[in-house]
Amino acid sequence: MKKKSLINFLNQKVEQYNQPDFIKGDPISIPHRFSLKQDKEISGFFASIFAWGNRRIIINKTTELMKRMDNAPHQFITQHQERDREKLLGFVHRTFNDTDLLYFVEFLQQHYLRYDSLEDAFTRSMKKGDTNVENALRGFYNYFFSLEYVPQRTTKHIATPARKSSCKRINMYLRWMVRKDNGGVDFGIWQQIKPHQLICPIDLHVARVAKRFQLLDRPQTDWLAAVELTDYLKKLDPEDPAKYDFALFGLGVVEKFS
């Protein structure tokens, strides 16, 4: 497919999926239930962390967790007493269990007692002139696991480029928080990270579609593949490459394009 035709095709797919009807069946529907910025951040964070496997199950499990937090996650995180943590015991989603959850809650409590937004957890390690969020993700991982006691099993639930991970779920979360357009899907409630710095989320489905359109050569679905794909997408839209996540995800997961 010629470049102009490819751009037109992918832009059409972005418009097809980047609209309110997309929200209901996607994990981003969870933060859309809240109005408070911090509630959006926290619920979106958990929804993205849980985002592997069936989307309906992801939504149901995140909904369950929000109910355990009285559907007021920021208030629960910042004001709960030790006895309130009993509400979290027994929570399981795939390999994520209550040991992991209790650490996540502890970190979020410590962070929100000092900062107004979770964006500060990502921007603390960014440098002036960063072309993408690699430093943000590396720094977030180190900061997230900086508390005195860290269950070793919990470290697998936060990805980092330092381990060559594609960081698909965290990049998706950043897309939700940073991007803002007329589509009504992403929130755009963070200002320090810019859309042009985002890395397009990539998994096996997205990689398959990207290779089909010759947007990606790298055989492994890792961090370098995510950067390679994003660098190509910047040729199509230098200011907002991550918007093509809608097109690639829609083609790969919804339409089963191959």
Q: What is the mean pLDDT of residues 131-139?
A: 98
pTM: 0.97
Tens-place pLDDT, residues 86-115: 999 999 999 999 999 999 999 999 999 999
pLDDT in tens, 197-242: 999 999 999 999 999 999 999 999 999 999 999 999 999 999 999 9
pLDDT, tens only, 148-178: 999 999 999 999 999 999 999 999 999 999 9
d(C-alpha 249, C-alpha 169), whole Å: 13
CA dihedral 168, 41, 27, 132 (to 10 degrees): -20
List, as one string, the DSSP characters of 151-169.
-GGGGGGS--GGGT---HH
Q: What is the pLDDT of residues 41-77, one digit of tens each?
A: 999 999 999 998 899 999 999 999 999 999 999 999 9
Q: Give the pLDDT of residue 138.
A: 98
Residues 133-155, mean pLDDT to the nearest whole number: 98
